[in-house]
Structure 1
Amino acid sequence: MLTALATAAVSGSLLGPGAAPALAADDLYASNTDLYTKLAGREGIDFGRRYKRHERADNSTSAVAPFHRTTIMALHGGGIEPGTSELCLGIAGYHPATFEVTPAGGPVHDYWMFEGLLSSDNGSMHVTSSHCDDRVALSMAGGSLNVLSLHGCTAAQAGVAGSRPEAVVVGGRNEEFKSRLIAAFQDAGFQTVDGARISALAGVDPQNIANRTVLGQGGQLEITTELRRSMFGTFTRLGRPGSTNEVFDRFVAAARTAVARLETSASQTIL
């Protein structure tokens, strides 16, 4: 059954080949495959992909190993939605500059990210979440119970433009995950918005890669530019990994708390 579910989550996707746009209609590329095809030979120059899958094994005939739980993703990392790459690594349990497990001995999660590497106009490489057909990304989402997908938005998009533009919008189809994320971010002192209030940021499309999991649901964070900027001493692609601060640490810890609480809930029991 698990194999069938995971296959269904990625079926049809293994075939061939500043500020990001808010809507799919604004995207220059129809999918990741379209981008990779049209920018053939530019990987490592215009864009990059990074991921990590942790080794797992079950050689016992008498016990059942836990099914893979959570993958962290940043679909628009690097210069597309700045700060999301570093947050992806941090929430996965790795220091974004040294890749050391942080906190030491803490749990780690699989991660995947697509990053814009241009000096400017990285938003041109934005591919909306429901059009992500990267084979590795889809296979990782389809083999996980949960995905936490990280994105950047503007304060206006989040509905918080004004005196307090630092906010995170929590979306996705997994209502339990949403409630745990909202509670953890509020407890950590962050202005938190329920994505259900903002349809464009709700993250409920079944084709959104955050929801293409074994359970058919996941979590999505839309983080305002102002909040992301406040997490780093130097808000450049090269400067961010080594200049994370207390705000970054607090945000990462809150997200990891929500993930940990979700992973130990009854909804995560897969036979």
Structure 2
Amino acid sequence: MLTRRSVLTAVGVAAIPTVVAVGARPAHAADFYPSNTALYADPELTEGVHYSRRFRRHAALDDTEAPGAGYPDTVVVALHGGGIEVGTSELCLAVAGYHPAGGATGGPVYDYWMFEGLLSTGNGKLHVTSSHCDDPAALATVAGSRRAVSLHGCRPEEAGLPADTAAVLVGGRDTTLKTALLQAYSAAGVQAIDAVSVPDLNGDDPANIVNRTLTGAGAQLEMTTPLRTQMFGVNTRAGRKSSTLPAFWTFVDATRQALTA
């Protein structure tokens, strides 16, 4: 765990130029909105109706002259939750240590941030690519963390895989965490692929929010649609939180095991 003092020092040095970098990037060709800021500014969208944001930052206190206490240093994010990349909201909560239906599940709890599409259809319009995420709470939470895991959904075809492939592609710039995740998934019987072989899903762009941590590195998980479909008995926004299946918890437990390694 980091100390409070080391976190505050590092954030003070690194956070401001990182934020500026996102605003300077052009919009992704596939995105309707060039940034979260642009999405939030759209008068046709209402937060809580068309989209939502949820986050939790755990309290930390160090107000004595004794050596600095431990500081929360891990964050889990789902940039495209709700109806955008189905299942990633529920996985974000569970990996962070909270049951999607409510309450902690036991063991370590981690900070989290998520953006969710709430439209009845067409949630893909609300997708903002990871390198353009400029939500202030997301930026602040990731920038103050040593480790980050970002949960995404993809189609197998995007990874050059057969359409029925249930797998997770593990990317990002945190090679130590990547290795731990690949090993944990293998041990749990989850098909895992090093995303370095799929550049479009590798998540190694330094501007990707998962890599904008104190260490400049994080881990990105791209889960195929068949893998996520196996995780829920009722695969709707209302039904997923209370119909998680063993495949869901196998994936969550393996991910959390890697985070404690």
TM-score, scaled relative to structure 1: 0.88
- SS of equivalent residue, structure 2 residue 92: helix
CA distance in structure 1 between the aligned counterparts of 2:127 and 2:28, rounded to whole angstroms:
9
1:39 positional shift: 4.2
Q: CA 1:198 to 1:180, structure 2 compared with 1: closer, same or farther past 3 Å?
A: same
What is aligned with 2:63?
A: 59
What is aligned with 1:177?
A: 177
- SS of equivalent residue, structure 1 residue 72: strand
Contact 2:18/2:212, CA 8 A, preserved across alignment: no
Contact 1:27/1:124, CA 8 A, preserved across alignment: yes
Deviations 1:85-137 (A, max 9, x none): 0000000000101x2111x3x11111100000001000000000000000000
1:193 positional shift: 0.7
- Structure 2 unaligned blocks of 5 or more: 1-5
What is aligned with 2:19?
A: 13
Contact 1:168/1:193, CA 8 A, preserved across alignment: yes
CA distance in structure 2 between the aligned counterparts of 1:120 and 1:171, rounded to whole angstroms:
29
Deviations 1:163-205 (A, max 9, x none): x510000001010010000000111101111010010111111
CA-atom RMSD in angstroms: 1.9
What is aligned with 1:245?
A: 245
1:9 positional shift: 3.2
What is aligned with 1:152?
A: 153
Contact 2:58/2:72, CA 8 A, preserved across alignment: no
1:52 positional shift: 0.6
1:100 aligns with 2:103: yes
Count residues in correspondence. Answer: 251
1:62 positional shift: 2.0
CA distance in structure 1 between the aligned counterparts of 2:137 and 2:88, rounded to whole angstroms:
19
What is aligned with 1:124?
A: 125
CA distance in structure 1 between the aligned counterparts of 2:205 and 2:238, rounded to whole angstroms:
33
Q: CA 1:39 to 1:79, structure 2 compared with 1: closer, same or farther past 3 Å?
A: farther
Q: CA 1:246 to 1:129, structure 2 compared with 1: closer, same or farther past 3 Å?
A: same
1:246 positional shift: 0.3
CA distance in structure 2 between the aligned counterparts of 1:193 and 1:111, rounded to whole angstroms:
25
Q: Matched residues, percent identical?
A: 49
